[in-house]
Amino acid sequence: MVSLRCATAHQSLLGPPTCLARPQRPACPIAVEAVAQSKDSDLALAQARETRDKLKAAHSELAEEGAVKIVIIKTTGDMVLDKPLADIGGKGLFTKEIDDALLQGRIDIAVHSMKDVPTYLPEGTILPCNLRREDARDAFICLTANSLAELPSGCVVGSASLRRQSQILCRYPSLKVVNLRGNVQTRLTKLKNGDVHATLLALAGLKRLNMAENVTSILSMEEMLPAVAQGAIGIACRSNDDKMMEYLSSLNHEDTRSAVACEREFLTVLDGNCRTPIAAYAHRDKDGSCSFRGLLASPDGSKVYETTKTGPYSFDDMVEMGKDAGHELKAKARPGFYGCLQWKE
């Protein structure tokens, strides 16, 4: 992961403005994923730089040279790439080291891909800010076909996501899905080397890396519902750090925050983890209302339950919408369905 460090992070809130304009120490750390073998994650860095640039644009005191510093923090999830994420502890492995650094005061702000953030936050931390969401759809990448539907029977699709696996196998049971982890460049290299016939990647990440030219086609929401909070960046800080919360509140995009909260509440009710294929997407429709769709599936795609809901586009209403959707699918899936999933203990 990467971090940003704001020079003003520990200065008195009562100090004169000149204290902010002339920071006396290096700035506040923001944390994001880094990659194994000492090769930093380009996507993590891109997200940290985006956050840094927004902070500088919104607060003149942070535009000073050295006022915001990016700090790289490697996480277990980044370093263990030869096993499925579910087998080594789940998505929390992308945030634990970052959370520790934040609570210990080694960084002041943590930048996360929201889809990697567990539904709980460590005590002493708060996530008050979501940047404007990027396109949440998945991208299909292949050298021989234009879509999943065009892949011949027996073709191998590489993906580490059970969410993608279950939806692919539900619609195209003749295809084979194998585990494929690593950063974007690693996955594209394996595709070019013929390790797999095709792969799926989040379009948001490709756009942030300026690598959208690699996209063969974009999957519709109907064909591939995204991961909870896919395309959204979340920024956390310590819950007692009023200055950082003030900085972050100026960057928050409320529509995104409400949509992410709706989807995460859905995930929380279903007690989802990395062994649980769950997908969800909430957005503002053409009438200004919130339109939500959620999905719960078995890993092999043989059983899929879905729900759609519409309601007011307001934070509290959308949290309740996500909660109701989760309870609906939990009820639909009983009895017997939970036996095919390995729920969090």
The catalytic site residues sit at 116
Is residue 250 within 8 Å of residue 175, measured between CB atoms?
no
d(CA 169, CA 300): 6
Contacts of 88 (CB under 8 A, 6+ apart): 76, 77, 80
Quick one: tokens of 337? 């369905």
What is the SS3 string spanning 40-60?
CCHHHHHHHHHHHHHHHHHCH
Q: What Cα–Cα distance (Å) separates residue 207 from each residue in 52, 138, 178, 201, 303?
A: 18, 11, 25, 11, 33
C-alpha closest to that of 204 among 262, 289, 138: 138
Quick one: tokens of 20? 């902010």
CA contacts within 13 A on the Cβ side of 1: 30
C-alpha closest to that of 29 among 84, 79, 69: 69
Question: Which residues share a beta bridge with 109?
Answer: 4, 30
CA angle 328, 93, 201 (to 5 degrees): 70
Helices and strands in the chain: count of H runs, count of E runs: 10, 14
